Amino acid sequence: MNVLFDNRLANHAGLGRYGSDLIIALIKEFPSHYFSILVPPNCNIPLGDNSKNYKLIYTRSERYTISELLELSFKCNKFHQNIFHSTNYVLPLYAPIPSIVTIHDVMRLRLPEYCHSNEEFIHRFGIRRFINLVIIALILKKGSSVKKRQDDYFKSTPITNTKLEFRGKQLESVLKLHHFYLYLIHNRAITKSSAIITSSYFSKKEIIDLLQVEREKVHVIYPGVSSSFYIVYDKCKISEVLAKYSIPNDYYIHVGLKRRHKNVYTFINAYRDLLNLNSNIPIIVLVGPIDEDSNSLQAYINKIGLSSRVIFVGNVTDEELNCLYNGALATVVSSHYEGFGFPVLESMACGSPVIASDIPSISEVSNNSALLIDPFNSEDWTKALQKISNDKSLRSKLSQLGLENVTRFNWCNPASKILNVYKYVNQEMKF
């Protein structure tokens, strides 16, 4: 079988890691099948020396542009493949082959207030890409066959009437266009694809509820945990990373700062309350990009007097993150919403005990091997942080449970299941 595999987000965290780890497993486990892999410029995926069953196809188009959809259509028509697999929910305008799409979550539809408004989108991505979204939205809306879902979405989506200045003219924003664009892209993914792959039963329920897709079309296939995360027995390696970022030996680690659903402020407030009770507690290490969002968080931390207790390390390499997980007293995952929750399993693979939000996806993935807390209850987080800090036997128990739990998430298993979906769709299209 020949598969056109969309991994254009290979250089990104999250979706990029999923796509890269999956294609590595597919290539390794199934050498009799051939994979043409769409990747961005300067992509560096460790695919190994065996190039007999894959080739890299470099792409140039930016996200949220017409050229993105046109380039995908061109690639699907140019290369003679049996299946197109999109790992980032974007499908071409036209493809002569069946498509499979991975949708990890529908947070942007469930919680649109956590996404960019028009003003934020223009500020971050520029007016040119905003205009692209206008045109794409009109094209996709015209070609959509599910008007009722669109109407429902319009009714439930906040409306803005902000006037934006562009080259001396006012651009009136009637909708949060970025949100509507994402709805249309998701809608197109479920209507035009032959199968949908998602990462948890929680996400399957969300996809069915919000996008009204047939239950049989959605396949739950748990991803694996990257081989980049494992127990480091050489403590000198951990010490080197801690020294690089001036981190003491005792610390909590939190990965992911960029969006509001990560709920970092609740964690910070709970930590502040614990510090008022006991000054002899671990510090906090925050991992994530240094940008406007993290700057606002840092300003808040300074305001409440925790600047000496919180270390921002920015983006780190996988090797450094692995060492940071290994050295941490505990990993904190405080999200309001997740489709899966990779940091939970990554830290478990490193032997780090996990304190996490008691939300459906994390409860499903952690399988009673993490200390789960109400994400909205700061007082409960304070008690949990105190408990994990004082109770060495609890940390040891959670560490062992986590290591046992993570054995369920080996990439060989999902690669095999996804290949079966490829075969099923390919066979169905012949009839």
Q: How far apart are CA 187 and CA 209, in angstroms?
A: 13
Query: DSSP assignment of 130-195, as one string?
Result: HHHHHHHHHHHHHH-S-HHHHHHHHHHSPB---EEEETTEEEE--B-HHHHHHHHHHHHHHHH-SE
Half-sphere exposure at residue 352, Cβ-oriented, CA atoms within 13 angstroms:
30
pLDDT score at 177: 62
Helices (H), 79-144: 107-110, 118-125, 127-143
Report which secondary-structure segment, H or E, holds 237: helix 235-244
CA dist 14 → 127, 248, 250 (Å): 26, 28, 27
Under 8 Å between Cβ of 7 and 87 = yes
Look at the pTM and tell me if it is higher than 0.85: yes
How far is CA 146 from its chain centroid? 27
Question: Lowest-confidence range among 50-59, 82-91, 216-225, 348-357?
Answer: 50-59
Task: Pick the more confident residue, 183 or 36.
Answer: 36
Question: Lowest-confidence range among 15-19, 109-113, 345-349, 366-370?
Answer: 109-113
Phi, psi of 214 (to 5 degrees): -65, 135
pLDDT score at 161: 40
Using one digit for the tens of pLDDT, what is the confidence trace for 370-418? 999 999 999 999 999 999 999 999 999 999 999 999 999 999 999 999 9
Task: Pick the more confident residue, 174 or 178.
Answer: 178
Under 8 Å between Cβ of 345 and 365 = yes
Strand 83-86 and strand 2-6: the pairing is parallel
Question: Among 311, 265, 268, which Cα is nearest to 288's?
Answer: 311
What is the pLDDT averaged over residues 304-332? Answer: 96
Q: How many residues does the chain have?
A: 431
Sheet arrangement for strand 354-357: 310-314, 283-287, 251-255, 330-333, 354-357, 371-373
Using one digit for the tens of pLDDT, what is the confidence trace for 421-431? 999 999 876 64
Q: Report DSSP state, residue 48.
A: -
pLDDT score at 187: 82
Cβ count within 10 A of residue 5: 23
pLDDT score at 157: 43
What domains are there in the chain, each with its CATH number? 2-224+411-428 (3.40.50.2000), 235-406 (3.40.50.2000)
Using one digit for the tens of pLDDT, what is the confidence trace for 63-103? 777 888 889 999 988 877 899 999 988 898 888 899 999 99
Q: Is 103 left (phi over 0), alpha (psi -120 to 50) or beta?
A: beta
Cβ count within 10 A of residue 252: 23
Q: How far apart are CA 385 and CA 390, in angstroms?
A: 9
Q: How far apart are CA 213 and CA 205, in angstroms?
A: 10
| CA gyration radius, the chain | 22
